A = this chain, B = another copy of it.
Amino acid sequence: MGVNSNRVDNFETIKIQSEIPMFQSPLEIHKVRLPPQRTTLQKLRHRLSEIFFPDDPFHGFKNQTWVMKLLLALQYLFPIFQWGPEYSFRLFRSDIVSGLTIASLAIPQGISYAKLANLPPIIGLYSSFVPALIYSVLGSSRHLGVGPVSIASLVMGSMLSESVSYNQDPILYLKLAFTATFFAGLFQSSLGVLRLGFVIDFLSKATLVGFMAGAAIIVSLQQLKGLLGIIHFTNKMQILPVLVSVFKQRDEWSWQTILLGFSFLVFLLITRHISLKRPKLFWISAAAPLTSVILSTILVFSMRNKIHKIAIIGELPKGLNPPSSNMLYFNGPYLALAIKTGLVTGILSLTEGIAVGRTFASLRNYQVDGNKEMMAIGLMNIAGSCSSCYVTTGSFSRSAVNYNAGAQTAVSNIIMASAVLVTLLFLMPLFYYTPNVVLAAIIITAVIGLIDYRAAYKLWKVDKLDFTACLCSFFGVLFISVPLGLAIAVAISVFKILLHVSRPNTMVLGNIPGTPIFHNLNQYKEALRIPSFIILAVESPIYFANATYLQERILRWVREEEECVIANNGSSLKCMILDMTAVTGIDTSGIDTLCELRRRLEQKSLQLVLANPIGNVMEKLHESNILESFGMKGVYLSVGEAVADISSSWKAQP
C-alpha cells in the first residue's frame, strides 16, 4: 500500500478548531481515499467477472477435492444428478399425477399450436415428446412444463408465411420451420454458454405486457377462420386486413361450425373462470381441453353423415418422431429468413421460459440459474430440430397446471412425454374426426389470459413512460407486424435508458437542521440553504452522453441561484459543492466537463469543490491528473465536512 498512501498525500487529515455553527460536535475532516491500486489486468478481470459471473456460479467448487469438483460439474451440467439420487416413491406418486394432468392439456394444445404456426398438427405432438425428455435431464426448474407455446408459434407462423406458403410448398415450409428451430436453439444455448443472459432483460415487463396483449388479439382474430368456418382467409396478420377478410367472406360462414365453436368456447371460458376463482379446482380447466376434444370428436363422428360443413383434422400419421436433421436448410435464398425467424422466436420463447421458471421457483424458494436454463432450452430446441419438433419452451399454462397438480421434479415431464408417446403410437386415428373449430376455441381460451389489463393499469399508475412503451408495442403488433412490434418495443426500452442517461437529474441540496445531512430542497421543505454556498447533486454518471447537458444545466442552476440571491439581498455565492455520491462513473468527456466547469465558475469567482466521489471516479480523476489541480481542499468526504471546513476557512481569513 506504499504507493497508495503516496498517491493521496494531497488529501491529508486537517483538524478544524473553530466552532462550526451547524454541527455541535468538534469536526474532523477525513481524507477521500483512492481505492486500492489494481493493475489493468486485475481491473479487467474484476469487471468481466461482474459482467459474466455476477452469481458466482462456481462458489461451491472452492476448497473441494478433484473428485468432488468433477461430481459438482456433472451435477451443474445435468441437474438430474442433483435430485436423482434423492428421488423417492413419494415424489414419483406426485409426479405421475401431475404428469398425466399436463399430458391431457399437452395433447390438444400441441395440435392447436401447431396449427397456429401453420404446421401439420402432428408436429405439435412430436414437440411435446423429445424436448420434454431432454429438459428433464438438463433443466433446473422442477415445475416447468415444456412444449410449444402460443406466442412463438404465432410468430414463427407469421414470419415464415410471409415468404413461403405451407399449402404451396409444404416441404420447404417444414424445412424452414426446423431450421428456424435449430437456429433458435443455437442462439439460446450460445446466450447461455457465453453468459449473455442479460440480453433478454432488455425485453422489459412493460413492453412484454403490450406485446403479449397485442399478440393475443392477433391470435384470437386468426381463430375466426376456424370459428366461423371460413375457407378463403387472408394470409395477413394485422387487425385490419383480417377483419375485412372476415366480413367479406360472410357467405362462407357456416352456422353449424359457429354453433359448435361458440358452445365449446363458452364451456372452456367457464371452466377457466372457475379455476381462476378457486385455484384448488385447477383440474377443471386442465381437463377441459381434452374433454372438449373428446366430446366434439364423438359429436362430429356420430353426425358424420348429416353435416359435412364442419372442417376436421383428418388423417394423422402414427408413430414416433421421424428424424429431421436431413431437412435442415443451410444454404439457399431462404436461409436469412430462417435465421431471422429463429432469432425472434428464440428470444421470445427464452423470455417466456425463463420468466415462467423463475416465477414457480420463487413460489417454492429455490433458485433457477438463468444461464443454465438457456443452455437447457437451447439444447432442447437443437435436439428438437433434428427430431421433427418446432420451437418449444417452458409454457406458462402447462407449468401452472403442473405446479397446481403437485409436481415435485422434472419426472412429471417424463410422464407427460410417455403419455404423448402412447398417443403417438396408438391413439392417432381417434383424432380423425376432431373438428378444427374446437382447436380454435382452445387457442382463444389459452391466449385470452395474456391480455393483462391489470398490469397495464398498474403501469399507467406508476410509470407513464413504461405505459407508453406498453401501448406502442401493443399497437405495433396490432397494426404493423409481430416482429416489428417487438422491435419497436425493444427500441423504446433502449431509448428510455438512453434518455435517462442523457438527461439526468440535478438538484439543489440544503441542510436538514440539527443534522449533518444534506437533502433535496424540493423534497424536504425543512431543509435550509447555506448562505454563500450552492450545493448541487448530480444523479448519474458523467459521460459523453450527458456531459454537455450537465455543464449547461449546472451553469443554469448557478445563474438562477445568483438571481435568487440578488432578489433576496442575500450574501453572494462563493462556493459550489458538487455532491458526487450518485455519480457512479466518469469518462474522459466527463472529466473535461468538470475542468471546464471549474474554469467557468472561477471566472464568476466561485470555488468548485467535490464531495464524496466514489472509488472509480477518484481513480479516473487521479489518472487524468485532475486531482492535483483541485488541490488538497478541493475534495471532501461529505458535503457536511466541506461546508464546515470551507466556511471556517473564510472566518479565519476574512
Contact = CB atoms under 8 A, between A and B. Distances in A.
Interface of A: 24-25, 28, 30, 33-36, 40, 43-44, 50-51, 54-56, 59, 198, 201-206, 358, 362, 365, 370, 458-459, 461-464, 466, 493-494, 497-505, 512, 514-517, 519-520, 522-525, 539-541, 543-549, 552-553, 556, 559, 581-582, 584-585, 587-589, 591-592, 596, 599-600, 603, 614-616, 618, 620, 623-624, 637-638
B503 A620 contact: no
A201 B549 contact: yes
Specify which of A519, A552, A587, A637 lies most central, judged by the most chain B CB atoms within 10 Å of its CB.
A587
A463 B522 contact: no
A516 B294 CA distance: 72
B624 A462 contact: yes
A585 B497 CA distance: 11
B201 A548 contact: yes
B54 A515 contact: no
A589 B620 contact: no
B56 A556 contact: yes
B205 A500 contact: no
Specify which of A24, A43, A55, A203 lies most central, judged by the most chain B CB atoms within 10 Å of its CB.
A55
Contact of A201 (B59, B464, B546): B546
Nearest to A539: B584
17 contacts: A40-B464, A51-B503, A54-B503, A198-B502, A198-B503, A198-B545, A203-B544, A500-B541, A500-B584, A504-B584, A512-B637, A517-B637, A517-B638, A522-B615, A523-B615, A539-B582, A539-B614
Given A25-B24, A581-B581, A204 B545 contact: yes
Given A40-B464, A51-B499, 7 more contacts: A44-B464, A201-B502, A201-B544, A201-B547, A459-B588, A463-B587, A500-B585
A552 B55 contact: yes
Contacts of A556: 54-56
Number of copies of chain A assembled together: 2
A462 B517 contact: no
Nearest to A455: B588
A25 B494 CA distance: 48
B603 A365 contact: yes
Given A582-B581, A623-B461, A206 B525 contact: no
Contacts of A615: 520, 522-523
Given A201-B546, A615-B523, A517 B30 contact: yes
Nearest to A615: B523
B584 A553 contact: no
A606 B43 CA distance: 32
A201 B544 CA distance: 6
Contacts of A599: 362
Contacts of A620: 462-463
A204 B547 CA distance: 10
B497 A461 contact: no
A327 B54 CA distance: 59
A503 to B, nearest CB: 5
Contacts of A587: 204, 206, 462-463, 466
A462 B591 contact: yes
Nearest to A547: B201
Contacts of A464: 40, 43-44
A585 B465 CA distance: 12
A502 B556 CA distance: 31
